[in-house]
Amino acid sequence: MTGMGSTLDYRVQPGTALVGRIRMPGDKSISHRALLLAALAEGESVLEGLSTGTDVSAMAVALQALGTRMEAGAPGCWRVHGGPFRAPDRALDLGNSGTAARLLIGALAGCPFDTVLTGDASLCRRPMRRIIAPLQAMGAQFEAAPGDTLPLTVRASAGLAGLHYRCPLPSAQLKSALLLAGLRAAGSTCVTESVQTRDHTERLLEQFAGPPSAAATRDAYGYTVCVQGGTRLRAARLQVPGDFSQAVFFIAGACLAPGSELRIERVGMNPSRTAALEVFRAMGAAIEMEGEAVLSGEPIMTLRVRHTTGLHAASIAGELAARAIDELPMLIALSACLPGCTRLRDATALRTKESDRLQSLQEGLQAVGIRVEGLPDGLNVYGAQPRGGVVHSHGDHRMVMAFTMLALAAAQPVRIVDCDWVQTSFPGFVGLARQAGMVVQEQWGQ
């Protein structure tokens, strides 16, 4: 993401309030899935409000290499002409996007041609074994780099068989990969989870298969979801709601900065995504919700967030940690500014993200004067006012945004090193932060 030995750094001034009305970019998780299902569906789909980050762009480029015709309109708007995939003439480079890689591994399993998936150095270090093992049980064949990482070849297949798989660890990407493969498999494919993960794939299958739909059915308890092989997908028109995971950064900033009163409009409020709200409320945050509506099968609301005194640490563990896994970097950075000890447990999944996020959080918080104890599956964070200083992003967009918001509560400015990674998920982050009142300077460093 950087070049010529320079890095894009942020210098954030503490003490400014977040005020006004803002709107988040399109939800990244939904954007990936909407593009992929539109490519698999018959006919022309119209998709609006997609994330414009480079992660989703990598998915779009990969689908075009697989023969999908796509026409770009306004930013975040695409017309997608779906149909059967064809063999690409090159490896599919997915950049830094683990979501694109894992979803495409599932969607390409069962295709009658070989496909090579690769990515940047960070993505090529991330393990794919938990995705490819159950797909192999369905009959898919792969050749992976040592350690079951990318580059990875999805081998041509004569066909897949349905499978009932029990996930050993919660993973929406694993579940989605198996459901996508199940669309090509003989019989039904079922995935059982111990914790219900985000269900965007299931909701989108309803949009593309049409209700009543046998494309994705869930048991009465919500922990098993099944797809029927050969389900016909048809083109759809979709609008993608604002990304709740991105809204979490601005919720936390408004909680931290005295004088803040911020409205975040049209945020996706899928109940499988909003576990972070439970943590905010446990910390004593003042968050109100208004204007409930439904957008393309997803609930949306406007969030009103005010700074309030009396915020305090709240521990995170078990099912709550699993459901809030993507929001944990910001929640832990917020807790570092609050009185008390936050105990994070059951978060080993953070070690295999864009960075080892437990280690990145520990180093970053210690760099601004916060006492932290590292554990194999979590952290103990002893809240205090950050003193300011220099934090390294470790090539992780969520680290950049979490420490940008933490800086609002610091005694001195905070510089975050190597921030260009924000382009992968939230290219308008700095502009939106400034619109809300923050003072963020972009500087080139060495």
Residue 159 lies in a domain: yes
State yes or no: cis peptide before 427, omega within 30 of 0: no
List the helix and strand counts (H, then E) for the chain.
13, 25
- Residues 19 and 38 placed together within one structural domain of the fold: no
Do 277 and 401 have their domain in common? yes
111-160: pLDDT as tens digits:
999 999 999 999 999 999 999 999 999 999 999 999 999 999 999 998 99
Range of the domain at 146: 28-228
The CATH number covering residue 181 comes to 3.65.10.10
The reply to whether 293 and 419 lie within a common domain is yes
Question: 186-196: per-residue pLDDT in tens?
Answer: 999 999 998 88
Alpha-helical segments (H) within 294-409: 318-323, 328-335, 357-367, 397-406
Taking the C-alpha atoms of residue 104 and residue 131, their distance in angstroms, rounded to an integer, is 11
Indicate if the pLDDT at residue 394 is higher than 80: yes
Asked if residue 323 and residue 279 are part of one domain, the reply reads yes
Say if residue 5 is exposed, middle or buried (CB neighbours under 10 Å; 0-12, 13-18, 19+).
exposed
Task: Confirm whether 354 is domain-assigned.
Answer: yes
Query: Residues 17, 126: one domain?
Result: no
Q: Are residues 160 and 110 in the same domain?
A: yes
Look at residues 166, 198, 228 and tell me which one is the last residue of a structural domain: 228
Domain-embedded: residue 236: no
Question: Which residue in this structure is represented by tokens 């006492």?
Answer: 371
The predicted model gives 278-290 an average pLDDT of 97
Do residues 381 and 332 make contact, with C-beta atoms less than 8 angstroms apart? yes
Cα distances (angstroms) measured from residue 61 to each of 66, 269, 401 = 9, 29, 26
Under 8 Å between Cβ of 127 and 159: no
102/92 Cα distance (integer angstroms): 13
Q: Same structural domain for residues 307 and 388? A: yes
**Cβ proximity of 31 and 427 under 8 Å:** no
- Of 184, 207, 228, the residue that ends a domain is 228
Q: Which of 178, 195, 228 is the last residue of a domain?
A: 228
Q: Is the pLDDT of residue 277 over 80?
A: yes
DSSP string, 378-439: EEEEE------EEEE-TT-HHHHHHHHHHGGG-SS-EEEE--GGGGGT-TTHHHHHHHTT--
In the numeric block, the tokens 């050969």 are attached to 230
The CA distances from residue 156 to 4, 69, 142, 446, in Å, are: 40, 22, 9, 46
Q: Which residue has the tokens 């198996």?
A: 178
**Environment class of 32 (CB within 10 Å of its CB; exposed 0-12, middle 13-18, buried 19+):** buried
- What's the CA angle centered on 133, arms 132 and 136, to 5 degrees? 80
Residue 2 covered by a domain: no
Average pLDDT over residues 273-297: 97
Taking 80 as the threshold, does the pLDDT of residue 76 lie above it? yes
Statement to judge: residues 221 and 257 lie in one domain: no
Amino acid at 369: G
Contacts with 211 (C-beta within 8 Å, 6 or more apart), sequence order: none
pLDDT (mean) for 392-397? 96
Total domains in the chain come to 2
> What is the SS3 assignment for 357?
helix
Specify whether 200 is located in the same domain as 262: no
4-54 per-position pLDDT tens digit: 458 899 999 999 999 999 999 999 999 999 999 999 999 999 999 999 999
How far apart are alpha carbons 174 and 195 in whole angstroms? Answer: 13
Q: Is the pLDDT of residue 430 over 50?
A: yes
Residue 131 lies in a domain: yes
Q: Could you tell me which residues are beta bridge partners of residue 142?
A: 154
Can you tell me the distance from the alpha carbon of 379 to that of 114, in angstroms, rounded to the nearest whole number?
43
Of 434, 436, 405, 430, nearest to 265 by C-alpha is: 436
Q: Is the pLDDT of residue 1 over 90?
A: no
Check residue 215 and give its pLDDT.
Answer: 66
- Report yes or no: 250 and 262 within 8 Å, Cβ to Cβ: yes
Both 207 and 295 in one domain: the answer is no
> Does some domain include residue 234?
no
DSSP states of 163-180: -EEE-SS--HHHHHHHHH
39 and 22 both lie in a single domain: no
pTM of the full structure: 0.93
- Catalytic annotation, residues: 326
Amino acid at 254: A
Are 128 and 144 in contact by the 8 Å Cβ rule? The answer is: yes
Is the pLDDT score of 221 beyond 90? Answer: no
Token output for 206? 């309803």
End-to-end CA gap in the chain: 14
Q: 136: closest CA among 168, 161, 111?
A: 161
Predicted pLDDT of residue 222: 62
Per residue in 314-371, pLDDT (tens digit) is 999 999 999 999 999 999 999 999 999 999 999 999 999 999 999 999 999 999 999 9
- Does some domain include residue 65? yes
Q: Which residues contact 9 (CB under 8 A, 6 or more apart)?
A: 415, 416, 417, 418, 419, 442, 443, 444, 445
Structure tokens at 62: 């990969």
In DSSP terms, 48 is beta-bridged to: 239
Residues 18 and 32 in one domain: no
**Is 1 within a domain?**
no
